[in-house]
Structure 1
Amino acid sequence: MTTTPAVRGTATRPEQSLARSGPFGGRAPFWVLRNEMDNLMSRFSGDGSLTQAFDALLDMSETDDEIEVRMDVPGIQPEEIEVEVTGNTLLITGERKEEKEEKSKTYHRIERTSGSFSRSMTLPCEVDSDQVLAECDKGVLTVLLPKSNLSKPHKITVKPKF
């Protein structure tokens, strides 16, 4: 069996490693179809009606003292975002208000979505929910979740026997 040396800049996701060019913008047709189906299915609510929603993307990082969550929320006012911590679960919900179409304009393309979003994630450890801070600046929500003292490592000094 021969091995191929690693090539700098190779794709790490399956959809990136398939088709690199062509009518699908560098993505294989299967992955384009799958993403479209996922988007369509995620828009159905519990009663079967089609609802408007959008993806709120986030990053979660951790230090010794806290967990930080940063989420892209462009066009959403801070008062339209709710942050809730229950145990080791973080729930962020919000809504981007729909802009009214002006009847005097001819629209050639409408891609910006409005509607609600909801993201729930399990935190890697217990946090002190009374000390959670959340702020929104330039379309980025930052949530700082201080770790509970029970979650922080405690160093125990081993002493010689008396």
Structure 2
Amino acid sequence: MMYPVLNDWFDNAFNDFFDHRAMNRMNATAPAVNVKEDEKSYTMEVAVPGIKKEFCRVDLNADGDLELAIENKLEHHEEEKGEKKEHYLRREFAYGNYQQAYTLPDDVDKDHISAKVENGILYITLPKMIEEKKDQVRKINVA
């Protein structure tokens, strides 16, 4: 069942990511990204299995966009054991880097963005700004 997209930001910012035609253009190392929203915040969930938090970088750039970089710094070398070197007969593990900038919605409180890595997922919490109630009912004293 398809659900209508209620948030223009989500539709615009992530449309290319989820477009199956764009998948052919994307690097195979691009992680899967989920975005959810509640009344207080947006939460990005980025799949980073096996990646330590030290290798995840989340920044705001000069344009106010969220920049996400994941660097896999595993060493790729043959280990020496005695006089013989080990070598792989077959090696399929691929380790790459990923970097992407995301345009944030206007209602994100950019001063309170937080991120954590837990169980192979990078969680980026984008809190919404608290709107002041403009139509508050109050009594005004007449002097």
TM-score, length of structure 1 as denominator length: 0.56
Aligned partners of 1:83 and 1:132: how far apart in 2?
9
Closer/same/farther in 2, CA of residues 107 and 98 from structure 1, 3 Å limit: farther
Q: Judge conservation of contact 1:91–1:120 (CA < 8 Å) in 2.
A: yes
Instruction: Give the aligned residue type for 2:69.
Output: T
Structure 1: gaps (5+ residues)? 1-8, 10-30, 43-52
Matching residue within 97, 101, 104 for 2:73? 97
| 1:25 equivalent in structure 2 | none
Q: Determine if contact 1:88/1:125 at 8 Å carries over to the other structure.
A: no
CA distance in 2: counterparts of 1:122 and 1:69, whole angstroms: 13
Q: RMSD in angstroms over aligned alpha carbons?
A: 3.0
Pick closer, same or farther for the CA change 1:126–1:55 going to 2, 3 Å: same
Q: CA deviation at 1:121?
A: 1.4
> Larger relative contact order (C-alpha < 8 A, sep ≥ 6)?
2
**Separation of aligned partners in 1, 2:132 and 2:65:** 21
- Residue 31 of structure 2 is aligned to residue 76 of structure 1: no
Query: Displacement of 1:146 after TM fit?
Result: 1.0
Report what 1:21 is aligned to. none
Taking a change above 3 Å as real, the CA distance of residues 95 and 58 of structure 1, as seen in their structure-2 partners, is same
Is residue 145 of structure 1 aligned with residue 126 of structure 2?
A: yes
1:118-137 to structure 2, matched below 5 A, reads: 118-137=99-118
Q: 1:140 to 1:132 in 2, by over 3 A?
A: same
Report percent identity of matched pairs: 28
For structure 2, list consecutive stretches of 5 or more residues without a partner in the other structure: 2-19, 79-84, 139-143
